[in-house]
Amino acid sequence: MKKRQIVVNTIAFANQIQGGLRQFEFFEDLVQIGIEYVEVRHEYFCDQADWIETRKEAERLGVTLLYSVPRRLFRNGQLDIQMVKDTLAKAHELAAVGVKWTRGDFERWSESDMRMMRHFTESYPGFLTVENDQTSRDGSLDAQLAFLRSCEENSIPLFFTFDVGNWAWVEEDPVWNATQLRHFVQYIHVKDVLFTDGVPTAVPVGTGELPLQEVFRQLPKEKFVALEYPCGDHPLDLLRAGIDWLVKVQE
């Protein structure tokens, strides 16, 4: 894997952000360890000044942003139009090259929802995805395939963020799911998982029980891959190790 494909999701700095630091305060450290792409999280922004400083610091350092939004694309079977508008306004403000949601209460595409979503995708220059989360509703293979096939059939360019670790929370096989979903994958989140009495816990790549190398053999090789797990009190050390692991995994 090429180093420039690797993204760091700011959940890596969860401890420090909970202590009062802002996401943009880690950009310089990330650049120093060779990271050019950072995925910022919607829930970590504090106020409007935070958004402005994030964009300014990214521009100053040459960092390209992606934008993670833990919100559902569909509510009660309908596209959440206002949420999508608000998200894309912020994505434009950040100059983010990609946005990630969860699927939500999708049943089918209505004509009006299709028109609106096509309008949104045409007005946004980056890629738009949904992710498998850790819930039975939005985390299963069947749910994702139903949605993504419907998007493809209706010429709606929404794609998939394949979160390798999240399948553990819904007790599904990440290797098999990779073979079924790779056609739709635009972006990859990676964490490893340890199980204690059957309960999964996210851990750094290469330190858990998931067959990560086999998963990567099934996924597209050229997509962005984000390290997405908390890295405790010494995040840069764990991130360096994660970067080295990813670079070697596809050598």
Summarised one tens digit per residue, pLDDT across range 202-247 is 999 999 999 999 999 999 999 999 999 999 999 999 999 999 999 9
136 vs 125: which has the higher pLDDT: 125
What number is the average pLDDT over the span 78-96? Answer: 98
What number is the average pLDDT over the span 191-197? Answer: 97
What number is the average pLDDT over the span 141-155? Answer: 97
User: How far, in Å, CA of 176 to CA of 217, rounded?
Assistant: 11
Cα–Cα–Cα angle for 250, 130, 174, nearest 5°?
45
132 has a pLDDT exceeding 70: yes
What is the biggest distance separating any 2 CA atoms in the chain, rounded to whole angstroms?
50
Alpha-carbon radius of gyration of the chain: 17
57 has a pLDDT exceeding 70: yes
54 has a pLDDT exceeding 90: yes
User: How far, in Å, CA of 138 to CA of 101, rounded?
Assistant: 11
Q: Which fold has domain 3-249?
A: TIM Barrel (3.20.20)
Closest CA to 8 of 91, 52, 65: 65
User: How far, in Å, CA of 63 to CA of 30, rounded?
Assistant: 9
What number is the average pLDDT over the span 41-62? Answer: 97
pTM: predicted TM-score of the whole model, two decimal places: 0.96
User: How far, in Å, CA of 109 to CA of 107, rounded?
Assistant: 7
User: How far, in Å, CA of 182 to CA of 174, rounded?
Assistant: 11
Residue 212 · residue 192 · CB < 8 Å? yes
Question: What pLDDT is attached to residue 161?
Answer: 98
Question: What pLDDT is attached to residue 136?
Answer: 84
> What does the domain layout of the chain look like in residue ranges?
3-249
Mean pLDDT of the chain: 96
pLDDT band at 250 (very low <50, low <70, confident <90, very high): low
Question: What pLDDT is attached to residue 117?
Answer: 97
Residue 230 · residue 203 · CB < 8 Å? no
Specify the residue for token string 């209505």: 110
Residue 38 · residue 67 · CB < 8 Å? no
- Percent of the chain whose pLDDT exceeds 70: 99
Question: What pLDDT is attached to residue 137?
Answer: 82
User: How far, in Å, CA of 144 to CA of 4, rounded?
Assistant: 28
User: How far, in Å, CA of 149 to CA of 60, rounded?
Assistant: 40
251 has a pLDDT exceeding 70: no
